[in-house]
With several copies, the nearest count.
Chain A
Amino acid sequence: MTDEKVSDEHLPMRVQLPAFEGPLDLLLHLIQQDEIEITDIPIAKITRQYLETLDLMHELDLEVAGEFLVMAATLMRIKSRMLLPPPITAEEEEEDPREGLVRQLLEYRRFKEASRELERMEGERRLHFDRGAPAQLEDPDASELLPVSLFRLLDALKNVLSRQAPVPVHTITAEPIRLEEAIGLLETHLKERPRALFEEMLDLFVSRLEKITAFLGLLEMLKSGTIQVAQEDLFGPIWVEWRGDAPPENPENGELSEGGEEDQAPQAIHAEEE
């Protein structure tokens, strides 16, 4: 085993203890302070220093996170294994009990060093200021939504749930349906069944008010060309056909007539509604 300088055993009892990010950070600190080779840690000495530091942290009323204690146990386990006699057969190569810890320390050190590099870059970048008053458009009829991160979405949910509003009294008043909601429902329905009876469509809506809204919705859809309406004979059933987002002037479907009937059909429904 390596030379453990017994003479140099006093921990630097500085009043100011550096803040350690975790047990690995503390171990690295001790190793660096003693200028020990990371791959050959004098485990007994380091364990003692580690435990002394934990004591000091207690004395300074610093919170000692659970991970620090887990590491203390690990160190003591390694220490006791190091005391065991080496395997008798030379063939049987036993792993150095410190192996796992060394690997972990090296890995952690990699990223700790990388983080210093990032810190330097951060500091450098902070010397450069962005434009303080970027130009802005005034009209708010914006075209696109800024993307939202999954984190924000989840955070919003968490906030909402933690607010936990009182359970509302369930009064069953008919929910007034909005025009776009009516259109949305009609669209969903028509996407599944591209050709449907007008009455059937209105049956999707419960109250009289909803039916009127739905009717207005159909008018809107007619206007935008997403549906077409046709009546096969004067007092026959009125059909609604889904045309998707195709432009209205595209009379490919011979079976559905265009023109005046588009105006006529709603009238018929209107009469029925009254």
Chain B
Amino acid sequence: MPATPSTQQILEALLFASDAPVGLSTLVEVLDGPDEAAVLSELQAMARALDEGGRGVALAEIAGGWQLLSRKEAAPWIDRMLRSRRKVRLSRAGLETLAIVAYKQPVTKVEIDGIRGVDSSGSLHTLLERGLVVIKGRSKGVGRPLVYATSSDFLSYMGINDLADLPELKELGAVLEERERLEMEPAEGDEPVPAEAVPGGSGEGAP
């Protein structure tokens, strides 16, 4: 390695030294030379090179920054090495609560409980404790209840860059629209709705 490392080398070293996403602006600032566009194209080149070079790590754009991550194909071996040193996965209750917060944020606990039909204190506690959900402030509504939102750790936890990267629940919109249409129609007794009028029961791949 030459005395003065190349941008590519510095970038790799920087990303390598970090266990969390590093923002593009931080990289630009630290490199103190190439502009944003240049750094971005270096990053893209690095991502490609890592993909093509048959390497054990990959460069991902996540939670608004760049981070090196091990390749998923190596997961079984890493699991074996780290054994139990990992955080447990979220419970079903936790995931339900998280989904409501993610899609309806900012949201109050009363709203969450209402949708789940069950008290969500325990799951909310876990989500707050793990930093995936934060108290965002207060709603303007009556009694000014606290509102909850997802954190940037949530993005990183889900491996996405942005809330807009959450899968769009087209089907949900469809369900509601369908409901509204049904409500418009005169209620013809209890006539069953044709099956295809209502999206199927399970959430299989929406287009």
Residues of A within 8 A of B (CB): 1-2, 18-25, 31-32, 37-40, 63-67, 69-71, 74, 86, 93-96, 100, 103-104, 106-119, 121-137, 140, 142-161, 163, 165-168, 170, 172, 174-175, 177-178, 180-181, 184-185, 188, 204, 206
Contacts and interface: CB of A to CB of B under 8 A. Distances in A.
B117 interface: yes
B136 A134 contact: no
A196 B129 CA distance: 25
A151 B18 contact: no
Contacts of A106: 175-176, 179
Given A113-B169, A153-B99, A175-B143, A121 B160 contact: yes
A148 to B, nearest CB: 6
Contact of B87 (A71, A117, A144): A144
Given A67-B201, A157-B169, A180-B128, A135 B82 contact: yes
Contacts of B166: 150, 153-154
Contacts of A206: 143-144
Contacts of B96: 21, 111-112, 115, 156-157, 159-160
Given A127-B72, A127-B75, A137-B82, 10 more contacts: A18-B187, A21-B96, A22-B118, A115-B95, A128-B69, A133-B67, A148-B158, A153-B166, A156-B92, A159-B96
A118 B72 contact: no
Contact of B157 (A148, A161, A165, A178): A148
20 contacts: A1-B190, A21-B189, A65-B118, A65-B189, A67-B118, A104-B202, A111-B96, A122-B89, A124-B72, A126-B89, A128-B58, A128-B70, A130-B69, A133-B67, A134-B18, A145-B87, A145-B132, A160-B99, A175-B110, A188-B135
B117 A172 contact: no
Given A37-B198, A136-B82, A180 B129 contact: yes
B167 A150 contact: yes
A104 B15 CA distance: 46
A129 B69 contact: yes
B198 A66 contact: yes
B134 A134 contact: no
A70 B193 CA distance: 12
B34 interface: no
A163 B189 CA distance: 30
B176 A155 contact: yes
A54 B109 CA distance: 26
B115 A161 contact: yes
Interface in B164-202: 166-167, 169, 171-172, 175-176, 179, 182, 186-198, 200-202
Given A65-B189, A125-B157, A153 B98 contact: yes
B86 A175 contact: no
Contact of B115 (A93, A94, A108): A108
Contacts of A67: 117-119, 192-193, 195, 198, 201
